A and B are shown apart, each in its own frame.
Chain A
Amino acid sequence: MEERLSAVLSPYEGRKDALIPILQKVQDELGYLPDDAMLEIAKTTGLPESRVYAVASFYAQFRFTPRGKHTIMVCRGTACHVRGAERILEETERSLGIVEGETTEDQKYTLETVACIGCCALAPCVMIDEDVEAKLTPQMVPEILSGRNE
């Protein structure tokens, strides 16, 4: 991990203003932001450690625990809500046996909600990794999950 981290951080020596892009790059590389990585970011940029965490924990994009192989994001946007997003979320939770924000024990799926995927016209939607599944009904949930069952 250390090598991968220092490769990402090397161009940012002393760059206090670049904290958010740095956090994004580190998370891209490591999948999440381990404490040690945040300490290293603090050292590289010269920012206080508390500040690195203050910023990272403010933004929804950053995670502090490893994620599952697949990320399922159920849209909680307005259009999806009035078209039954809550039932999609409940069914997904039931199918995976976890609640929003958790990762399955086998590290396969992480379940999250998102404010809007921008496919409101095709509501309700779920984003699995980079793909959007649109116009869902609760009954379709097990099916779209099993499609990712490798």
Chain B
Amino acid sequence: MMNFTEIQEQARQEWDSLQSGSVPVIAVGTATCGRSAGALGVVQAFEEEMSEKGVEAHIVEVGCIGPCYAEPLVNITKPGRATVAYKNVTKKMVTEIVDNYLKGDDPLPHYTLGSFGEGTVENIPRILDTPSFKPQERRVFRNCGVIDPTNINHYIANEGYNGLSKALTMTQSEVVEEMKKSGLRGRGGGGFPAGRKWEAGLNAEGDQKYVVCNADEGDPGAFMDRAVIEGDPHSVLEGMIIAGYAIGADTGYIYVRAEYPLAIRRLERAIEQAHEKGFLGNNILGTDFSFDINIFPGAGAFVCGESTALTLSIEGKRGMPRVAPRPRTTEQGLYDKPTLLNNVKTFSSAPMIITRGAEWFASIGTEKSTGTAIFALTGKVNNCGLIEVPMGITLREIIYDIGGGVADGGRFKAVQTGGPSGGCLPESLLDTPIDYDSLDEAGSIMGSGGMVVMDEKTCMVDVARYFLDFTEIESCGQCVPCRLGTKQLLDILKDICAGKGKKGDIDLLIELSQSVHGGSVCGLGQTAANPVLTTIRYFRDEFEAHINDKCCPAKVCKPLISFRILEDKCAGCTLCAKSCPVNAISGEKKEVHVIDQGLCVQCGVCMEKCPKKFSAVECLSPKLPVAPKETTEVVA
């Protein structure tokens, strides 16, 4: 078998010949997000166009490039030029790009997002100078969208497995020490210092130890772990192997959501390749350290993201978290053996810490939260996608600079971080810096990185209801405060949204939230009420409007709203009547139309359909009384 220097040499040659070859390189983002936007069709279109027109270029399928709002994204690098990024590429655009930029020399600036890399391209701004990219720092995402994730040589040529090869020359404690010095905190949400956990893993007694990677990614609105695995699977494997060496484990498991089939395929492929090169298996890189990794597809339970539930699930049991007092997972985890469990991003950070050193890692971020944070920026924001920023940046910078502000010209109302365990923060807290402790103080959490922007059309009571709906379904049900508490909170919130809120409900919500927090067994129950508490804390007036005035100020809660057609504006175009799903609208052509309030199901379609120039449909809250028959006739 080749030694590491030879492996590296070979990989570099392959990579360099691709990068500085004489033919253009077309990189298409074909991770799940790209695929759902049609990236595979784009790849096919390039292949067809090029063979038809006799154009030569390498097509490389890469992982998620980040700005999902611009998917499908295609990066084209012509020899000696900077890379041009094309956004929202369609098959029709492919033809034009092939004709104009690959065959000709017109990069079609109006189709591009910008350029990056060495060199320049006329008329195309550098992406990294734009407000959307300038604050970003791609570390965990270093290879995503750059390399072909199915080609281990691409990874190796970009510092890959360097960390492992270096770690193997260090002692176990030196590796742990380096991790501790880096200040890296667990990226799975809790923010526990990774180095300390590794140390506990190293110190734990036992001849059998395990390393487990948590890729359950249960937060409904976060997808960065998937992006890392799909775009750079080897970084996760390398981190796990280093961890295995550091604590003295010989077996690793990756617990991946079953809803991520592509990620699972990428991991399988990567594990196979790592075996071929001798990074996994017996006597790794000629040392006497041996390590192997198994993939465990989860079966759909949010609570299995919790570490003890996760290990029980691997053992083939119900994912019901262990009840404290209990031993730490690092002492007794999987099969009751010492187990080191970290998140995907925690592991994928390890190789660069070892390669580049702890100081380099800690050089950005804040003192107590070093390195970068990754967020899935979604909701009512212009630039949705995955972003990586230094810790300490403010929410405002993320939403307004990187995210390009609130979508559709709406007004900002709240930003939700931390998913079902997190909270909703109002405008007044937009200058909160992003780090574990500041978010905690504000009542939310860093969590796994979901960041959902909400505008004034979002009802905060409905948001609280939404999250409780999620936790109620996902509660494992073993402990009473969580099983029945989430249900009770949900039932009350549903009532409030339905106009059946009672005086005293807000107090009861707060009281129950505290009890569920204090009484529940695991993190799911303990944090389940956070969305309730923060929405009440910052948006109490909305709760009061629902309860006291039966009014939903955001006009979201259907039982509290009515749609009405304004007589003086309706032109009788019939569009609304044609599209009403329940035929609640009547009216002759060119005459004023009327909604039968008794039939209307408040779907809002008529309002969307009514042409802008008329804008004849309005939404009201509180609700209109259901109109008796005669009035309908009078109006007609």
Chains A and B directly touch (beta carbon < 8 Å): yes
Q: Is the CB of A59 within 8 A of B605?
A: no
- B316 beta carbon closer than 8 Å to chain A: yes
Chain A residue at smallest Cβ distance from B38: A134
Q: Is the CB of A122 within 8 A of B37?
A: yes
Q: Is the CB of A139 within 8 A of B605?
A: yes
Q: Is the CB of A20 within 8 A of B316?
A: yes
Q: Is the CB of B378 within 8 A of A78?
A: yes
**Interchain CA distance A149-B249 in the complex, whole Å:** 52
**Interchain CA distance A134-B300 in the complex, whole Å:** 22
A77/B258 contact (C-beta < 8 A), A18-B316, A58-B301, A61-B299 known = no
**Interchain CA distance A130-B32 in the complex, whole Å:** 11
Q: Is the CB of B302 within 8 A of A121?
A: no
- A7 beta carbon closer than 8 Å to chain B: no
Contacts across chains A and B counted by CB atoms under 8 Å: 146
**Complex interface residues of chain A between 32 and 82 (CB less than 8 A to chain B):** 54-55, 58-62, 75-79, 81-82
- B579 beta carbon closer than 8 Å to chain A: yes
Which residues of chain B are within 8 angstroms of A21 by Cβ–Cβ distance? 296-297
- B458 beta carbon closer than 8 Å to chain A: yes
Q: Contact check: which of A23, A115, A122 meets B71 at CB < 8 Å?
A: A122
**Complex interface residues of chain B between 286 and 324 (CB less than 8 A to chain A):** 296-302, 313-319
Which residues of chain A are within 8 angstroms of B605 by Cβ–Cβ distance? 138-139
**Complex interface residues of chain A between 74 and 131 (CB less than 8 A to chain B):** 75-79, 81-83, 87, 90-91, 94, 114-123, 125, 130-131
Chain A residue at smallest Cβ distance from B582: A94
**Interchain CA distance A54-B376 in the complex, whole Å:** 34
Q: Is the CB of B33 within 8 A of A121?
A: yes
Chain A residue at smallest Cβ distance from B225: A118
- B452 beta carbon closer than 8 Å to chain A: yes
The stretch of B148-156, B214-222, B500-508, B613-621 in contact with A is B214-222
Q: Is the CB of A119 within 8 A of B379?
A: no
**Interchain CA distance A139-B476 in the complex, whole Å:** 36
- B223 beta carbon closer than 8 Å to chain A: yes
- A132 beta carbon closer than 8 Å to chain B: yes
Query: What string of 1s and 0s marks CB contacts (under 8 Å) between B470-481 and chain A?
Result: 100010100000
- A17 beta carbon closer than 8 Å to chain B: yes
Q: Is the CB of A116 within 8 A of B221?
A: yes
Q: Contact check: which of B221, B313, B378, B452 meets A20 at CB < 8 Å?
A: B313
- A19 beta carbon closer than 8 Å to chain B: yes
- B416 beta carbon closer than 8 Å to chain A: yes
**Interchain CA distance A68-B79 in the complex, whole Å:** 51
Q: Contact check: which of A62, A121, A138 meets B378 at CB < 8 Å?
A: A121
Q: Is the CB of B378 within 8 A of A79?
A: yes
Q: Is the CB of B379 within 8 A of A78?
A: yes
Q: Is the CB of A121 within 8 A of B385?
A: yes
- B327 beta carbon closer than 8 Å to chain A: no
Q: Is the CB of A120 within 8 A of B316?
A: no
Q: Contact check: which of B376, B454, B470, B579 meets A139 at CB < 8 Å?
A: B579
Which residues of chain B are within 8 angstroms of A59 by Cβ–Cβ distance? 298-301, 319
Q: Is the CB of B603 within 8 A of A87?
A: yes
- B539 beta carbon closer than 8 Å to chain A: no
- B419 beta carbon closer than 8 Å to chain A: yes
Chain B residue at smallest Cβ distance from A52: B316
B606 to chain A, nearest CB (A): 12
Q: Is the CB of B299 within 8 A of A62?
A: yes
Which residues of chain B are within 8 angstroms of A125 by Cβ–Cβ distance? 36
**Interchain CA distance A60-B102 in the complex, whole Å:** 48
- A6 beta carbon closer than 8 Å to chain B: no
Q: Contact check: which of B259, B297, B384, B454 meets A118 at CB < 8 Å?
A: B259
**Interchain CA distance A137-B603 in the complex, whole Å:** 11
B300 to chain A, nearest CB (A): 3
Q: Is the CB of A24 within 8 A of B258?
A: yes
Q: Is the CB of B316 within 8 A of A134?
A: no
Chain B residue at smallest Cβ distance from A81: B466
**Complex interface residues of chain B between 22 and 46 (CB less than 8 A to chain A):** 32-33, 35-37
Q: For A78, A132, A133, A134, which residue has the most chain B Cβ atoms within 10 angstroms?
A: A78
- B525 beta carbon closer than 8 Å to chain A: no
Which residues of chain A are within 8 angstroms of B217 by Cβ–Cβ distance? 118
Q: Is the CB of B450 within 8 A of A78?
A: yes
Q: Is the CB of B458 within 8 A of A82?
A: yes
A83/B316 contact (C-beta < 8 A), A114-B259, A120-B223, A122-B68 known = no
Q: Is the CB of A17 within 8 A of B33?
A: no
**Interchain CA distance A87-B176 in the complex, whole Å:** 51
**Interchain CA distance A109-B184 in the complex, whole Å:** 47
Q: Is the CB of B221 within 8 A of A79?
A: yes
A60/B454 contact (C-beta < 8 A), A122-B33, A122-B37, A139-B579 known = no
B380 to chain A, nearest CB (A): 6
- B260 beta carbon closer than 8 Å to chain A: yes
Q: Contact check: which of B33, B318, B416 meets A119 at CB < 8 Å?
A: B33
Which residues of chain B are within 8 angstroms of A61 by Cβ–Cβ distance? 258, 299-300
B608 to chain A, nearest CB (A): 8
Chain A residue at smallest Cβ distance from B317: A55
**Interchain CA distance A18-B219 in the complex, whole Å:** 26
Q: Is the CB of B223 within 8 A of A116?
A: yes
B283 to chain A, nearest CB (A): 27
Q: Across chains A and B, which 7 residue pairs bring their CB atoms closest together, nearest first?
A: A121-B68, A132-B36, A60-B300, A78-B221, A59-B299, A19-B316, A79-B378
B residues apposed to A, CB below 8 Å = 32-33, 35-37, 68-69, 71, 217-223, 226, 258-261, 296-302, 313-319, 376, 378-380, 384-386, 416, 419, 450, 452, 454, 458, 463, 466-467, 470, 474, 476, 579, 581, 601, 603-605, 608
User: Other CB < 8 Å A-B pairs besides A59-B298, A78-B452, 19 of them?
Assistant: A20-B314, A55-B316, A58-B319, A59-B299, A75-B220, A77-B220, A78-B219, A78-B379, A82-B454, A90-B601, A91-B603, A117-B32, A118-B217, A119-B32, A119-B33, A121-B385, A122-B37, A130-B261, A132-B32
A residues apposed to B, CB below 8 Å = 16-21, 23-24, 54-55, 58-62, 75-79, 81-83, 87, 90-91, 94, 114-123, 125, 130-134, 137-139
List 5 A-B residue pairs with CB atoms under 8 Å apart, sorted by A's residue number. Answer: A20-B316, A21-B296, A61-B258, A82-B379, A125-B36
